[in-house]
Amino acid sequence: MYLGGTLISSVEFHGNMSLVLFMSRCPLACRYCHNVELIEDNTEKSFDEVKSEIDNACDFIDAVVVSGGEPLMQLDALIEIFEYVKSINLKTKLDTSGIYPDKIEKLLELELLDFVSLDVKAPFDKYGHITGANIGPQVKKSMQLLNNDSNVNLELRTTYVPTLHTKEDIYNIVNNAEGDIYTIQQFRNKNVLDLKLEKVEVPNPLELREIAEFIKPYFNGVVKLKTAEFGEEII
C-alpha cells in the first residue's frame, strides 16, 4: 500500500488518542490542499509493517485514523487495516472527500466505520471551482449513506479560504447538509497546491467565529471551529 506517514494525535478523533495513518494518492486537485506531498507519493509499506506500527502503539491509543490523500483509492488495503483494528478492539475513523460513495457503502456493509470526517469542500453545485471536478453529487450521496447508518458518527468539515468561499457558501453548504458535527477549518497558506494561495491572508479567527455563529441555527447538530490560535471550539 502507499502510505506517506504516521503520527500520534489527541485531536484527530475527539476524546480519543489515535494513531493516524496518511495514505497517499488523491484524484482531486483542490487548490488549497496542504498535503500536496501525498498526492502522487510512491512510498510503499506492507500490511505487516502497518500492523507492527499499530501493535507498537495499541497500549496507549484508543483508535486508528486513516487520512490522506484519499484513502478510498486503496480500498482493499483500507479494509485490511480496519478489519485488524476492529479485531484488537480499537475504534476506527476515516477522513475522506466522499467522492467514492460505492466504496463507503462497502465499508458500511462490513461494519468497519465508527467515525467519518467528510470534507465538504464547497456547495454541492460549486465543486468544479474548488477541486477541478464536478463531483458534488457523489459527495452528497456519501453523506446520505453515512447518515443512514446509526452506528457511524459523521463530521462534515469545510476549510474556509477567503478568496474561494463566502459566508453565503457556508450557509448553502449547511442548508443542504446533514451530520452530527459541522466544522469550519481555518485555511493555512503554507504548502498549498495553488501557489497563488500562498499570498492569501489566513482568515482571522474572529471572522470565522462570526460565520460559525451565523450558520449555527441552520445546522441540526454541533457546530465547531478549528483554528491554529484557539484549537477546536464548540460554538
Question: Cβ distance 159 to 208 under 8 Å?
Answer: no
CATH architecture of 3-234: Alpha-Beta Barrel (3.20)
Contact at 8 Å (CB) between 142 and 95? Answer: no
Residue 28: pLDDT band with limits 50, 70, 90: confident
Q: How far is CA 196 from CA 29, 77, 78, 164, in A?
A: 14, 35, 34, 12
Span 86-102, pLDDT tens digits: 999 999 999 999 999 99
Cell of 115: 467515525
pLDDT tens digit sequence for 142-195: 999 999 999 999 999 999 999 889 999 999 999 999 999 999 999 887 877 777
Backbone angle region of 13, left / alpha / beta, with phi > 0 → left and psi within -120 to 50 → alpha:
beta
